[in-house]
Amino acid sequence: MTEITDIEAWLHAKGQPTAVYLADSDCVEYVAEDTTAVYERVDEWLTLIFDETSIIPIGFKLKGFRNVFEKLKPELGWNDGQFVQLVAVVERICTSLGDEAIEDVRRRQSYAAAAKLAKDVVLYDLPLAA
């Protein structure tokens, strides 16, 4: 892992959406936007991630990769070193999946959210132009 040495630059930069495997919580997480997120569990494998309104999906979390790997290891003759390589593949796949799927869903949900907001807006009589 590359050490971040210029924290000031990091604080002001904007990264690209990317999936990361979080080893200590055994999950791959993809988030399209760096914002306050709300996690909604779907089942033991999948959690959807929404923005702070809980309306717009911004990512997903897939859980238990290491657990599955450990079960398949003896059957397929894998070793722990291969898990590291597998993680890189999974991160790349989930990044592509997220870029396509989440963006499409976000666009649809954004229209739905905008429509909902518009329904709640009360229009007052506009003043006549001078």
Q: Which residues bind other proteins (CB under 8 A)?
A: 1-2, 4, 7, 10-16, 18, 20-27, 31, 34-41, 44-45, 52-54, 63-64, 66-68, 70
Tell the smallest beta-carbon distance from residue 96 to other proteins (Å): 15
Q: How far apart are CA 33 and CA 54, in angstroms?
A: 14
- Which token pair is 71? 């079960």
CB of residue 67 vs other proteins: minimum separation in angstroms? 3
Q: How far is the CB of 63 from other proteins (least distance, A)?
A: 5
Q: Where are the alpha helices (DSSP H) in the chain?
A: 7-12, 65-76, 80-120
Nearest partner of 94 among 63, 68, 73, judged by Cα: 63
In the complex with other proteins, which residue's Cβ is closer, 17 or 101? 17
The minimum distance between CB 121 and other proteins, in angstroms, equals: 19
What does the alpha-carbon distance between residue 79 and residue 94 come to, in Å, rounded to a whole number? Answer: 23
Cα–Cα distance between 122 and 33 in angstroms, integer? Answer: 31
Nearer of residues 26 and 99 to other proteins, judged by Cβ:
26
Q: Which is nearer to other proteins, 20 or 86 (CB)?
A: 20
